[in-house]
């Protein structure tokens, strides 16, 4: 018994006519008769009572008709789901994010993506830079939202620009320079710095080193916490200053001041990154949505 025989049987049962069934199926009537005969032989029961004037289902045929309709529908549903999975319309995406620069954009994006692709399950994880990049490289993540600095030097990863992020000096309001509109980094050569742990977040750590080096000094880093919230807490406690994305202002204490940096290209990019060799078919759909939503987001925010 195969699906084609069941479809022939269903057509005859619906029309109670071999002639009409053959027309619907676009095959010769003899082919329909042969398939029904083979089906009856395989399962060992008579399915139709036939004479020159009429065709009607036997009791066994009535039972098979109900079951066959369900079985054919389930088969078609399984085939359609398989095709959708191949297109990425059905599936899952593991998404990592750093949790501050994309704080407003990401929920906006997720709402739009879920509306357009409700059968793609999204698994969201907030991670530091280092863990996020490692997750992309080893396949634990399909998509990552992170700052671009350093990502371009990691083999096997692709990225797309989302928006530009301003980098600021962060200090407690009691600091003598806290009320400045902008500060040249060279004025901070004697300060204590707080930086994200070099192993947990090499991008953030190296960004601090590079910006200070461009201003002629090596920063005195007195603490390297693993979490960005701890960096903010230590700066708020007066232990030192930090160089951080300006968007952290949204979750920082009101006693922390974010100050522009003079004479320095104090910018970074938020990017969406993925592994080039990742074959998850939902990734291209998500990236297309990022591109589409990015334009709408900037229009609404401006």
For the chain, domains (ranges, CATH) are 3-86 (1.10.10.10), 93-270 (3.40.190.290)
Query: pTM value?
Result: 0.64
Tell me the C-alpha to C-alpha distance, in Å, between residue 253 and each of 83, 98, 180, 229.
50, 19, 18, 10
Is residue 260 a contact partner of residue 231, using CB atoms and an 8 Å limit? no
Per-residue pLDDT of the chain (302 residues; tens, 9 = 90+): 688 899 999 999 999 999 899 999 999 999 989 999 999 999 999 999 988 888 999 999 999 999 999 998 888 877 777 776 666 567 889 999 988 778 778 888 999 899 888 888 999 999 888 888 889 999 999 999 988 876 877 888 999 988 888 899 999 999 999 999 999 999 999 999 999 888 877 777 888 998 999 899 999 999 999 888 899 999 999 999 999 988 888 888 999 999 999 876 678 888 999 999 998 988 998 999 998 888 777 666 55
* pLDDT at residue 190, as a whole number: 95
* pLDDT at residue 266, as a whole number: 79
Tell me the C-alpha to C-alpha distance, in Å, between residue 163 and each of 141, 210, 290, 300.
22, 21, 11, 14
* pLDDT at residue 265, as a whole number: 66
* pLDDT at residue 218, as a whole number: 95
* pLDDT at residue 1, as a whole number: 65
* pLDDT at residue 224, as a whole number: 94
């Amino acid at each position: 018994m195969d699906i084609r025989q069941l479809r022939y049987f269903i057509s005859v049962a619906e029309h109670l006519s071999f002639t009409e069934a053959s027309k619907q199926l676009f095959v010769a009537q003899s082919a329909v008769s042969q398939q029904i005969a083979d089906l009856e032989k395989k399962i060992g029961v008579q399915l139709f009572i036939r004479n020159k004037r009429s065709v009607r289902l036997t009791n066994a045929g009535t039972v098979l008709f109900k079951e066959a309709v369900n079985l054919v529908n389930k088969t078609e549903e399984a085939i359609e789901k398989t095709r959708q999975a191949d297109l990425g319309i059905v599936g899952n995406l593991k998404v990592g994010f750093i949790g501050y620069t994309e704080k407003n954009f990401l929920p906006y994006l997720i709402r739009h993506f879920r509306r357009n692709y409700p059968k793609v399950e999204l698994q969201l994880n907030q991670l530091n830079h280092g863990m996020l990049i490692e997750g992309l490289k080893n396949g634990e993540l399909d998509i990552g939202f992170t700052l671009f600095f350093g990502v371009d030097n990691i083999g096997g990863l692709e990225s797309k620009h989302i928006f530009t992020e301003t980098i600021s000096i962060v200090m407690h309001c009691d600091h003598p320079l806290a009320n400045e509109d902008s500060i040249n980094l060279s004025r901070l050569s004697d300060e204590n710095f707080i930086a994200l742990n070099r192993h947990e977040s090499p991008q953030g750590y190296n960004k601090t080193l590079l910006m200070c080096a461009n201003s002629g000094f090596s920063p005195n880093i007195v603490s390297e916490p693993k979490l960005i919230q701890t960096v903010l807490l230590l700066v708020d406690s007066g232990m030192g200053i930090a160089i951080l994305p300006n968007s952290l202002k949204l979750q920082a204490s009101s006693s922390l001041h974010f100050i522009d940096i003079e004479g320095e290209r104090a910018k970074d990019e938020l990017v969406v990154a993925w592994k080039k060799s990742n074959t998850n078919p939902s990734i291209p759909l998500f990236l297309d949505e990022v591109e589409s939503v990015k334009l709408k987001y900037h229009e609404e925010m401006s």
